[in-house]
A and B are shown apart, each in its own frame.
Chain A
Amino acid sequence: MNPISKIPSSEITPEETFLNRRFFMKTAIWAGSAVATGGMYRAFSPRSDVKSTGSEIATVVDSTFQSSLGADEKVNSFGEIAGYNNYYEFSTDKSAVAAKAKDFVTDPWSVEVGGLVGKPRVFGLEDLLKMESEERVYRFRCVEGWSMVIPWVGFPLAKLLSLVEPRSEATHVAFETYYDLKQMPDAGSAGIDLPYVEGLRMDEAMHPLTLLATGLYGKTLPNQNGAPIRLVVPWKYGFKSIKSVVKITLTNREPPTTWSLANPGEYGFYSNVNPKVDHPRWSQAKERRIGEAGSRETLMFNGYEAQVAHLYAGMNFEEDF
């Protein structure tokens, strides 16, 4: 005998109820799955616009700096510059850094400048913001193949270094980023050794294009862009422009740099923008300018060849990349 026919007829669900229940279940599954799928997509898609929280920088004077931008090069918007950041201490997702760095404390702040100098000194944030600064509109070229045009506010690094009186035996300058696992949620899993360190040769550090930036679009730097003070070296790949600097040390040897420590075959000490020397995993001949549809040719030394090429006369760029 078939076991199903043993069920008393009173316990059999009427077909109408069964179908109603079926309709309800299907609707619930439809809704649930669509919300889950859509939610997952949303969770991994870029965040919405960022807002400016900076305050005006009072000490900005008119700049005598001649921007070398082409007529077709537009300055990127604040949202683009402050919404797409490589700052691995906070997140390796460029569109997530702004939100994760929101509460980063950048005041009080001090920068310790020492090493081979006559007058080592600790600069407080207020000293740095008091320095006479100017707007510099620079191209910014990331090693990943994207670029922007950014209106920085800052002063030449040479100006700060002259205050500490570099000794003649100093050949290089080492920089270090603030590091704090409590404030920097991704600092333990970024996949690179931290604190982040960078370095320049003395002549690069003293070059008038090399900037210590304290602002962006006339206001103090957003946290995600390296507040309260960062280096900007426009003819080098972006990772050389170290953020949130706490320490500047003059030395007599080439200092270690974070990315060349992480992967010496891919990132060198110099890392000058050079369309002819490719990164092993991507070409450097072209770049995607943020906000533009197509790609553009990458310029030698990021377009600052006339100003900086003499620093590297006779250098083999395939070896010293």
Chain B
Amino acid sequence: MAVTLSQDGRFHRQLIFINGLLPMVLMGFDAWRGKLGVNPAEFVTRATGVMTLVFLVLTLLVTPLRKLLGWNWLLKQRRLLGLFAFFYCCGHLLTYLAFDRDWQLGTVFEDVVKRRFIAVGMFSFALMVPLAVTSTNAMIKKLGGARWAQLHRLTYYITIGGVLHYYMIVKSDATYPLWFAAVVVVLLGYRVVVSLRKARERVAVGVER
């Protein structure tokens, strides 16, 4: 008997996988036919950075969509969304090393010290690494679900850092970083409201007793 579409985890995974790779494939295709614009280095740097933020936001969207719309099937796919964020962030880091640092890896440290927006970006990337490393089933088992979940709440700080990093590099027109910021405020605000409400309920129960 066939499963319903909303239970078809394999289909969801394939869908996310292909759509997640598609921007990368299109960028590769554009690079091959020399259509990355007048300044390809700038475009690829920006595009990989924005894709990182898009996938971070998508991972943060999973919980509200589950709770509000009952889309529980999304939970299974969150790991893949997070790994895509890490994938594009690695690409973003590579563009920085190649185009901004000219592969002079020895200059990265001084650059992090010198430029605050680079420090904020690097900090967020560093926080992503343990999350990517602990994304396997074996690691979830090893850490235990509660501790694993706690560790992966670092995503909040990674996303805030990522948006801040974007805001800090913009010269004057902050429209896009502010859009990201607004979405992140809503998604994190949702969690704050939920946890406050839970705390209040706990107190209320305590009082009744």
Please list the residues of chain A having a beta carbon within 8 angstroms of any beta carbon in chain B: 15, 18-19, 22, 25-26, 29-30, 33-34, 37-38, 40-42, 44-48, 79-80, 83-84, 88, 92, 94-95, 144, 146, 186, 189-192, 262, 278, 280-282, 286, 288, 290, 294-295
- Tell me which residues across on chain A come within 8 A of B73, comparing CB atoms: none
A45 near B47: Cβ-Cβ < 8 Å:
yes
Inter-chain contacts of B38 with A (CB < 8 A): 46, 79-80, 83-84, 94-95, 290
How far is it, in angstroms, between the C-alpha of A34 and the C-alpha of B15 when the chains are bound?
Answer: 9
Are B102's CB and A286's CB within 8 A? yes
Q: Does B182 contact A (CB under 8 A)?
A: no
Q: What are 25 pairs between A and B in contact, CB < 8 Å?
A: A25-B5, A26-B11, A33-B15, A33-B19, A34-B18, A37-B22, A37-B23, A45-B26, A45-B27, A46-B36, A47-B37, A79-B38, A88-B172, A88-B173, A92-B173, A94-B39, A95-B38, A144-B171, A186-B173, A281-B117, A281-B169, A288-B42, A290-B38, A294-B102, A295-B99
Chain B: interface residue total (CB-CB under 8 A): 34
Q: Which of B66-87 contact A (CB under 8 A)?
A: none
Contact B175 A189 (CB under 8 A): yes
> What separation, in Å, do the CA atoms of A38 and B38 have in the docked complex?
21
CB within 8 A of A46: which of B26, B43, B102? Answer: B43
Judged by a CB distance under 8 angstroms, whether B174 is at the interface is yes
A282 to B115, CA, bound (A): 7
Interface pairs A-B: 10 shortest CB-CB: A46-B37, A191-B172, A84-B38, A92-B173, A191-B173, A37-B19, A41-B23, A37-B22, A192-B172, A80-B38
Asked if B102 and A295 sit within 8 Å, CB to CB, the answer is yes
| Complex CA distance for A34 and B115, rounded to whole angstroms | 38
Contact B19 A22 (CB under 8 A): no
Task: Please determine whether B22 and A45 come into contact, CB atoms closer than 8 angstroms.
Answer: no
- Per the bound structure, the CA–CA distance linking A42 and B174 in Å amounts to 21
A280 to B, closest residue via Cβ: B115
Bound CA–CA A26/B5 (angstroms): 8
Which of chain B's residues have a CB closer than 8 A to the CB of A80? 38
Task: Tell me, in angstroms, the Cα distance from A259 to B15 when the chains sit together.
Answer: 46
B11 touches A41 (CB 8 A): no
Chain B residues within 8 Å of A294, by CB: 102
Partner of A95, one of B37, B50, B114: B37
Residues of A within 8 A of B169 (CB): 281
**B41 in the interface (beta carbon within 8 A):** yes
B172 near A45 (CB under 8 angstroms)? no
For the complex, give the distance between the alpha carbons of A189 and B47 in Å: 22
**In the complex, chain B residues whose CB is within 8 Å of the CB of A83:** 37-38
